Amino acid sequence: MTTNTTLTEKTGARTDEAATLIGGARDRIDSLDDRIIGLIQERMAVSAVIQEARISSGGRRVNLAREMEVLGHYRDALGKPGTALAMTMLELCRGRI
């Protein structure tokens, strides 16, 4: 089996040209995913600092009004699926202190 056949099978493409294009695009997606994960991890760390400051000052761990702002921002930018994405991100960022 040749490399092109393997790439074609791996990508589901019907031509070598399409398989090459898909392979390159998937590499870019993998790189973007790594960056997104890094940014979420950074956001989690910043969120922990905010929560610690809020709790230390006698406040609550979570600010629901702020979370609603974040949900609205994601929904406005990405539509209904953006709300689900924001909920997952907020869940990752809660209570990490």
User: pLDDT digits over 19-52, tens only?
Assistant: 999 999 999 999 999 999 999 999 999 999 999 9
Percent of the chain clearing pLDDT 70 (strictly above): 92
- 8: which 2 tokens? 């074609």
Q: Would residue 76 be called left, alpha or beta, if left means φ above 0 and alpha means ψ between -120 and 50 degrees?
A: alpha
What mean pLDDT comes out for the span 81-89?
97
According to the model, what pLDDT value does residue 3 have? 52
- 22: which 2 tokens? 């898909």
According to the model, what pLDDT value does residue 8 have? 82
Q: Contact 86/71 with Cβ under 8 angstroms?
A: yes
What mean pLDDT comes out for the span 78-95?
94
Does position 74 have pLDDT exceeding 90, yes or no?
A: yes
